[in-house]
Amino acid sequence: MDIRVEDNRAHSDQQDVPLCVDLDGTLLKTDSLWESLIGLLMRNPLQIFAIIAWVLRGKAALKIEVAARTNRDPATWPYRQEIVDLLKREKRNGRRIVLATGAPETVAQGVARQLGLFDEVFHTTDDTNLTASRKERALVERFGEAGFDYIGDSRDDIAVFEAARRAFVVAPDRAAGRWAASHGAEVLVEQAVNARLLLKAMRVHQWLKNSLIAVPLVLHHELLNLDLLANVVLAFFSFSFAASFVYILNDLSDLENDRLHHRKKERPLASGRLSIPSGIRLACVLLVASLVLALPLPPIFLGVLFVYIAATTAYSYILKRKLLVDVFTLAGLFTLRIIAGGAAIASDLSFWLLAFSIFFFLSLALVKRYVELSELSSEEGSKKLGRGYYAIDFEMIGQAGISSAFGAALVLALYVNSEEVQQMYAMPLLLWPLCPMIAYMLLRIWMLARRGEMHDDPVVFIISDWRSQLVTAVGAILVLAAAVNPL
């Protein structure tokens, strides 16, 4: 996008008026304070007590203390490229470029050194949080009333807009957007939070994983029991909202890594289209909704839900960076969905079913790591960013995953041959084809992964792959036929 800020005034007049630009939300797609706070808490959640103490000393102290402890590389900030390009053009035309930010000195000067564009930098100091009217006074004292142009994005910038000769608005919040509309200010970058963006942040497509909650209902042949069916529906949405809550936490904890990934960098939080405060508010709403939906269900379901939230949160903070613990946790979380389904309808679950689930989903979790490792350099010392794996682990992960696939098929065979199944199904022999079908599905996934032809989330792949869908449909027909025995 080629943004122009020049009007019909003489070019020399433009050169005489400095162009001042805000940092957070304007030059950056993110807020440096919020992102630094998240990073600090992700490394050490106990820092929350120190943060409370800093807040009591004032926002300027909070910013300085947080910045001193995060030591963020300025090259890793998500810059808004269209604004950077605009500043470069104005700089080439001889215009004075000024960074005016509420960020502390370490952040502001780091950005200034990184971009090499600014003739002067205004920032927060020990005794002054340089935002709103304080920024306005500092710029007016330096350049005079209407002696500068200003680019900003938020409510805090309105006082500066009022004092500037010309105001330009970037991805405005609601207050800044209203001000721009009423004053005819030019909006350089439009950005609105809509339902589609929120749904993408929630990863609604991942909710299909929670259909595992219905497995106990299906296996107990209670699909026509409306009361139990209603419980399963409530459990499904309760788990789905909880899962979305954790997805957002995970995205907040992985912002830097996601921005380095060819696909994940487009996620709403990583891309900056959804602000960190908006993401936190959405997460809180989802958590409350999840708990409210769980209240009418048997109390044991609420306990399982708390275990799921605790385990997934621990995964986001710690476990996903631990060698092998991460894949066993993922397999356990899938199995926990089946346990939740049993809790929702107050039914006991077969040991064989849970064992099959562990092996099946362990194989899929290992596929996920296998695909990620395949993107690494073949050098033995090449380590995956933020994980506990090295490129040399590639073959070992593959061997473990394929072994788990055969383990799942074996456990399923033992389950089909169990006395429990013999009593539950009129024609249990019809269930035997499920064993080679499961082996086929998993081995095909591993072969595609080895060829580099598979999505890095194998569960999503199964949902979208027509062959996997066909195997699943045939399997469902066999289970139904074995249960009703039409012969």
Based on the number of CB atoms within 10 Å of its own CB, is 46 exposed (0-12), middle (13-18) or buried (19 or more)? exposed
Structure tokens that stand for 372 in this block:
């990620």
pLDDT at 190: 80
Predicted confidence at residue 423, as pLDDT, reads 79
What are the tens digits of pLDDT across the range 258-283?
787 777 888 888 888 888 888 999 99
Task: Average the pLDDT over 445-468 and give the result.
Answer: 81
- Place 460 in a pLDDT band, splitting at 50, 70 and 90: confident
Q: Any bridge partners for residue 19, and if so which?
A: 97, 149
User: What pLDDT does residue 463 have?
Assistant: 77
Model confidence at 295: pLDDT above 90: yes
Spatial CA neighbour of 149 closest among 86, 97, 84: 97
Beta-carbon neighbour count of residue 52 at 10 Å?
A: 10
Segment 27-38 mean pLDDT = 90
Give percent of the chain above pLDDT 90: 46
Distance between CA atoms of residues 354 and 414, nearest Å:
12
Domain 14-189, second-level architecture:
3-Layer(aba) Sandwich (3.40)
- Under the banding of pLDDT at 50, 70 and 90, the label for residue 322 is confident
Strand 166-170 and strand 120-124: the pairing is: unpaired
pLDDT (tens digit, 9 = 90+) per residue, 432-443?
Answer: 899 999 999 999
Per-residue model confidence (pLDDT) at position 320:
77
Q: How many CB atoms lie within 10 A of CB 191?
A: 19
* Whole-number pLDDT of residue 307: 94
pLDDT score at 5: 57
pTM of the complete model beyond 0.75: yes
pLDDT at site 8: 42
- In this structure, the number of other CB atoms found within 10 A of the CB of residue 194 comes to 9
For 399, counting Cβ atoms within 10 Å of its Cβ (0-12 exposed, 13-18 middle, 19+ buried), the class is exposed
- Which range (19-28, 338-347, 447-456) has the least confidence? 447-456
Q: pLDDT tens-digit profile of 59-104?
A: 999 999 999 888 888 988 889 999 999 999 999 999 999 999 999 9
* 384: confidence class by pLDDT, cuts 50, 70, 90: low
| Span 365-385, average pLDDT | 68
* Interval 335-341 mean pLDDT: 92
State the CATH architecture for 195-484. Answer: Orthogonal Bundle (1.10)
> Above 60 in pLDDT, residue 9?
no
Question: Mean pLDDT across the stretch 204-226?
Answer: 85
Out of 24-28, 56-60, 317-321, pick the least confident.
Answer: 317-321
371 vs 112: which has the higher pLDDT: 112
- Coil, helix or strand for 126? coil
Is the fold of 14-189 the same as that of 195-484? no
pLDDT of residue 486: 45
What pLDDT is stored for residue 11 in this prediction? 46
Under the banding of pLDDT at 50, 70 and 90, the label for residue 487 is very low
Identify which of 30-44, 281-295, 379-393, 457-471 has the greatest average pLDDT: 281-295
Task: Decide: 23 and 111 in contact? Cβ < 8 Å.
Answer: yes
pLDDT band at 379 (very low <50, low <70, confident <90, very high): very low
Which of 74-83, 92-101, 174-183, 190-199 shows the lowest mean pLDDT across its residues? 190-199
Number of neighbouring beta carbons within 10 Å of residue 127: 8
Give me the residue spans of the domains in the chain: 14-189, 195-484
The structure tokens 């609604």 sit at 204
Residue pLDDT, tens place only, 39-62:
888 778 888 999 999 999 999 999
Residues 285 and 296: their CA atoms lie apart, in Å, by 19
